[in-house]
Amino acid sequence: MEIVELLLNNTVITILLFAAIIYSMIASASVKSTFAKYNKIYASSKMPACDVARQILEMNGIYDIQIVRVAGNLTDHYDPRKKIIALSDTVYGSSAVGAIGVAAHECGHAIQYAKSYGPIKARNTLAPVVNICSQAWVWVFMIGCALGSLFMAEVGIVFFSVVVLFQLITLPVEFDASNRAIKTLVDTGILYGEEVKGARKVLKAAAMTYVSALLVSLLQLLRLISSTRSRKR
């Protein structure tokens, strides 16, 4: 009980939240710097990332996904509705280790959908609810506080809890996509040795941004709960 009380102490939570926000900023900067470093080191296979992506998809029996180029840096993503893997300007035609790692990671998401990977199915089921909760929670909570309605404030907290749950489910999805990417790159010989280590570092740095975001949200949730508990007293 003492541990629970400590975790719900406003001062402790605020300090931890501040530390988590700083960590999140560091994680974000680390992704950019790590990618920049390994996007200057070229793979011996000399395959551009777009061709690597196509090869990985075909190896897994996936032929109905387009690979397109999009503007920006690290704007890469997989859109399951449009069946498109979008690779950014710094990734699409590059044969650098960093670019290949990012492209393989997005293919990992496509493979997850093709194989009906459990966590990604759960995330998709939750997505429509999260879209509503992420927009509504702060307004419901603030109105509840303004009107002195603990019920509304608690509803806001429940809404935010759904957002946190979504972030939690996202973690295994991202780690699994990276693991699939690295395994495929090794098995195919597209990368080897130090090249594999470079790609792994890029994907690990990216994964840490999801970890830090979850940490910030969890602490924010604890802060909301602590605030509501103090109003009850």
Of 111, 114, 99, 88, the residue nearest 203 (C-alpha): 99
Tens-place pLDDT, residues 50-63:
999 999 999 999 99
For range 117-134, the mean pLDDT: 93
Whole-angstrom distance, CA of residue 134 vs CA of residue 129? 9
Whole-angstrom distance, CA of residue 184 vs CA of residue 59? 9
Candidates 2, 5, 58, 106; catalytic one: 106
Whole-angstrom distance, CA of residue 43 vs CA of residue 52? 11
The band of 227, judged by pLDDT with boundaries at 50, 70 and 90, is confident
Tens-place pLDDT, residues 161-203:
999 999 999 999 999 999 999 999 999 999 989 999 999 999 9
Q: Is 58 a catalytic residue?
A: no
Contact criterion met (CB below 8 Å) for 63 and 114: no
Confidence (pLDDT) at 128: 93
Confidence (pLDDT) at 230: 67
Tens-place pLDDT, residues 92-104:
999 999 999 999 9
Domain ranges of the chain: 2-232
* Mean confidence (pLDDT) of the chain: 91
pTM: 0.88
Of 233, 221, 219, the residue nearest 17 (C-alpha): 219
